[in-house]
Amino acid sequence: MNVDIKSKKVESAKPVAPMAAASALREGRPAPLGATWDGLGVNFAIFSANATKVELCLFDETGQNEIERITLPEYTDEVWHGYLPEARPGTVYGYRVYGPYEPANGHRFNPNKLLLDPYAKQLVGKLEWNPALFGYVMETGDDTTFDERDSAPFMVKARVIDPAFTWHSQTRLQTPWDRTVFYEMHVKGFTKQHPGVREPLRGTYAGLASPAPLAYARSLGVTALELLPIQSFVDDSYLTEKGLTNYWGYNTLAFFSPDRRYAANPDFAFAEFKEMVARCHDERLEVILDVVYNHTPEGNEMGPTLSFKGIDNASYYRLAEDKRYYINDTGTGNTVNLSDGRVLQLVMDSLRYWAVEMRVDGFRFDLATILAREPHGFDEDGRFLDAIRQDPVLAGVKLIAEPWDCGPGGYQVGRFAPGWAEWNDRFRDTIRAFWQGEPGKIPEVAARITGSADLFDRRGRKPWASVNFLTAHDGFTLADVFAYDDKHNEANGEDNRDGHSHNLSHNYGVEGPTDDEAINAVRQRQIRNMLATLFLSRGTPMLLAGDELARTQQGNNNAYCQDNEISWLDWEGLEAWQLDLARFTQHLIAIRQALPLLHRGRFLTAHEDEELGVKDVAWLTPTGDEMTEEHWLDGNARCFGVLLDGRARETGIRVGSDATLLVVLNAHDDVVGFTLPPAVGGRDWVCLVDTNRQGLSDMPRLPVGHDYQVTGRSLLLFMLRPEGGARSGGTADRSFEHVADVLQRLDDLAGLPGLREAAQPATPQAASSGTRQSPGGPVAK
């Protein structure tokens, strides 16, 4: 790191009005951990099993001048604690922790380094990279040396908060899993260029809480906003040296604090975040946080000392047999040690804080295999997963695992405990490969679109456990999957060496944008194919924000450091076909929600129910006949049908009575004739989706036996029209009429609220759902 050593140091300031005095110090309590305001004073408690002394350092309100150092007087159950009756919300503080500096034994205590409270709920200032932040003399490259420079001038500090907040609603949304549709987004990127958001609020929690963005998300049909990391994180030094930032935020330092950079008023970040959650809940949108408990920004033995490393390195991190070094199952330099009881408590306390105090509805765990890893390896009944399962709060929120890491045995898709959902990258890769025309993919496509029973049908888990996705923040956007053969990450400053090279993508003749109408037509149809496959498959769909608008990152498949137009959604430069694509996506989600057969909670078997004489699913050749083993093994086959019988059992005791559906997928590059098969209880087929059409389907009716000419690279959804008609009153008839009504209402809307407003200037917003706070407590609005 090329940083000059600065002569900046903390001067001994004489406070005009001290916030606390050592003479008033009391013993305090070892619980709860962190800085807790009780209405009369503040209790400070910090865990360290190996420290010999802990000093509480108090600063002025700017965090620039250290006012006082107070030795915490008590040590109980490996917790250092003290109580200051004169301290108040707004108090700025940090810690200096004493103990052995013995890297060979895993200890890296250095009281010259100001340390952030792991339970900090609001931060002050910004971390400034400087050699003084390192526990060793960084310039020597020798981590066994001891650095005596004070890091306080360059270190972010914690501020005591008053958590009081008036929620207008006390209930959690708890959208059923089988009705959930995730929408992965970046708080800043989603609103930074949105003209329907007032300029000062763009890119902030308050901006996301504005009427236009929420109206758009709600009208699109998604039910949960999955936010990329918003817990306070650090910009890596190597990025700041290049003028870049850690845009995605997978570098968390403070597990209880919403990051100030996303707050319209940074001093009110925690209150502004609560207001955002309240607004989302008003719109019936759940809030899911992407959380990073697997590593910290302190890196390996050559990394800085910011918090955990200086508080108790041997407890917080998994160390190698030679304790000077770190186990690096995350690929980031260190791995958080959840085998330690107090470290596990930190993570559990953090999750409960966000679920209870901040009212979020669930969590997506980055590199979740790390959290379930014990010293002997991944354990689906490990401490963390067991703790979550028995916790009365966390067992009731949505839990989503990214089920892989780069450690040994790190790929664990389908192996998490009951109650968890998991990102299913097998769905992504299989569906991409199929629509790109790879041979021999039909058997695996059949498994993926029916809930991936081969992975998840164990221990009573349900199809919703498979989170199906086509793209995510990491990788190409959906539009770029069909516009680029190769990654184009030059803007990242790593000579295009970063990012995946295996993208299962294709440009159809031209790399990047083109004016060739034929190429554009194929690309647009392929995007519709992918979206239709996603929303018509069993499992829980996740849509990357902007894919429904064909957002491009110009071929960058690793935009983690691009806090600019590469990553931000462009709301104003949309062409007509992109607006149509958004309506098409809205149409798909509405159909999914209206047809229970698409999200039933049972895995499909293709076996005949002897009691009912019904198969829940039948796999058809283009002739309308059931596939044989020969057909399954035909590597050249790229067109098949999926017949979903609405009479199949909904549960173990309830017989189904929904409308029967037929999905036809044709990955050939040419037309294939498909014979519409006969089905019990219906007189003809109604086409609900045809991805060959630029607009929405007009629901044409076609007789059984009709030879439908399926366009090359296209997908169709048919619904069986009941024999009795709408007046017969049967459930299948009502299902048919319900879908017709839903689609008619969408046609009447003629667009998406919020997308229309994107072209309108923003107006001042009404008061929020909650009570805004200052660092010292609530203030009037």
Neighbouring CB atoms inside 10 A of 267's CB total 17
User: From CA 348, how far away is CA 357, in angstroms rounded?
Assistant: 13
Contact yes or no for 271/165 (Cβ under 8 A): yes
If we measure between CA atoms, which residue out of 524, 399, 530 comes closest to residue 468? Answer: 530
Q: Which two tokens stand for residue 722?
A: 């009941």
- Going by the DSSP 8-state scheme, the letter that residue 496 receives in this structure is T
Contact yes or no for 336/316 (Cβ under 8 A): yes
Chain centroid to Cα 46, Å, comes to 30
Strands 773-774 and 777-778, how do they pair? antiparallel
User: From CA 728, how far away is CA 237, in angstroms rounded?
Assistant: 69
Strand partners, 79: 47, 76
Neighbouring CB atoms inside 10 A of 781's CB total 7
Contact yes or no for 717/591 (Cβ under 8 A): yes
User: From CA 547, how far away is CA 696, in angstroms rounded?
Assistant: 18
Task: Out of 226, 275, 366, 480, pick the active-site residue.
Answer: 366
HSE, side-chain direction, 13 A CA sphere, residue 728: 13
Task: Out of 162, 286, 402, 457, pick the active-site residue.
Answer: 402
438 catalytic? Reply is no
User: From CA 145, how far away is CA 103, in angstroms rounded?
Assistant: 9
For residue 745, give the H/E element and its range: helix 731-749
Chain centroid to Cα 314, Å, comes to 30
User: From CA 386, how far away is CA 417, in angstroms rounded?
Assistant: 9
- Going by the DSSP 8-state scheme, the letter that residue 50 receives in this structure is S
Buried b (16+ CB within 10 A) or exposed e, 489-511: bebbeeebeebeeebbbbbbeee
User: From CA 735, how far away is CA 657, in angstroms rounded?
Assistant: 9
Strand partners, 235: none
If we measure between CA atoms, which residue out of 673, 671, 714 comes closest to residue 690? Answer: 714
One-letter identity of residue 312: D
Distances in Å between the alpha carbon of 91 and those of 55, 177, 329, 544? Answer: 15, 42, 37, 40
If we measure between CA atoms, which residue out of 540, 536, 539 comes closest to residue 662? Answer: 536
- Whether omega for the bond prior to residue 176 falls within 30 degrees of 0, making it cis, is no
The DSSP-derived string for 333-374 is S--B-TTSHHHHHHHHHHHHIIIIIS---EEEETTHHHHTEE
Contact yes or no for 694/517 (Cβ under 8 A): no
650 catalytic? Reply is no
Chain centroid to Cα 738, Å, comes to 32
User: From CA 410, how far away is CA 420, in angstroms rounded?
Assistant: 17
User: From CA 779, how far away is CA 781, in angstroms rounded?
Assistant: 7
Total H helices, total E strands in the chain: 17, 35
Name the residues annotated as catalytic.
366, 402
